[in-house]
Structure 1
Amino acid sequence: MVVLAGAVVVVDQLTKLWAVSALGGRAPVAVVGELIQLRLTYNAGAAFSFAERFTWVLTVITAAVVVTISIVAVRVRSRAWMVSLGLVLGGAATHLLDRMFREPGLARGHVVDFIDYFGFFVGNVADIALVVGVSLAVLLNLRGVLLSGPAEPARVGR
């Protein structure tokens, strides 16, 4: 779980460094026509720029998610849950880094977004990890998969 979370953080931060250097001050770059474009934005809020005036609250919530997943992680035995929580932990951790260390300042930083989906939403690699991780968690929950992994089969005799 930690390796996956770390990989998400590294890939997300490297792609953000690239986006800031390559996309700043230029028109959107078409990847799949107008459906998917690369366009640099800085998001003070959550998804869809929700709660832009409350960046510090988002920072606290994100820190709480990172701490909670880190505490729960020691109990996880299910590989599928490890993948799910690793993706969510990595996505949350890298957004927390943005909030803590990017402009305009400590606990008020803006998240770098650069993948424009249909002109409807602009996100980043961490957002992809979060969506996949949360979707997997919902699926695992609906299927009744426990954090501790599959139940041991009943033993009959020796």
Structure 2
Amino acid sequence: MSREQSQRFAIACLAAGVVVLVDQATKAAALGGMSQTERIPLLGDLLGLQLAFNPGAILSLGADFTGLLTLLGVGAVVVLVVAAAWARTETWAVGIGLILGGAIGNVIDRLFSPPGFGVGH
């Protein structure tokens, strides 16, 4: 790996790290300070915050396949790490890093959140 590639990889890792920290901090704050029955309005009835759990993927699709979704998430992380190592520009490195951070956050949740290891939400 050339010096430029190493720098772009470091940029991607930094972006991913920031996303993971923000992701986990906001989830911890939501879990510690909200209930599922509470809604915090931001713009009246138009926009608000409410604690919700999603056992599957989009709109709870795949709720019976959380183990498979966990494996797919791990696979996505691996692919994104390789992509980050080969990013051609700093902009691409940041973009890949942001997506990588989101994927890592999802894998952390699936591995360590209730109801159990590898099937969390």
TM-score between both structures, scaled by the size of structure 1: 0.66
Identical counterparts, % of pairs: 37
1:23–1:38 Cα contact (<8 Å) kept: no
Larger relative contact order (Cα-Cα within 8 Å, sequence gap ≥ 6): 2
1:44 and 2:62 correspond: no
Choose 1 or 2 for highest CA Rg: 1
* Structure 2 match to 1:79: 90
* Structure 1 match to 2:19: 8
1:5–1:91 Cα contact (<8 Å) kept: yes
Query: 1 or 2, which has the higher helix percentage?
Result: 2
Count the aligned residue pairs. 110
Structure 2 counterparts to residues 16-95 of structure 1, below 5 A: 16-95=27-106
Give 2:22's aligned amino acid: V
Q: CA offsets per residue over residues 7-38 of structure 1, 9 Å max, x none? A: 00000100000001111254211011122211
List gaps (5 residues or longer) in structure 2: 1-11
Q: Which whole-Å CA distance do the structure 1 matches of 2:47 and 2:63 have between them?
A: 24
Q: Which whole-Å CA distance do the structure 2 matches of 1:3 and 1:15 have between them?
A: 18
List gaps (5 residues or longer) in structure 1: 111-158
1:106 and 2:117 correspond: yes
Q: 4+ residue runs of structure 1 moved beyond 4 angstroms?
A: none
Q: How large is the RMSD of aligned CA atoms in angstroms?
A: 1.1
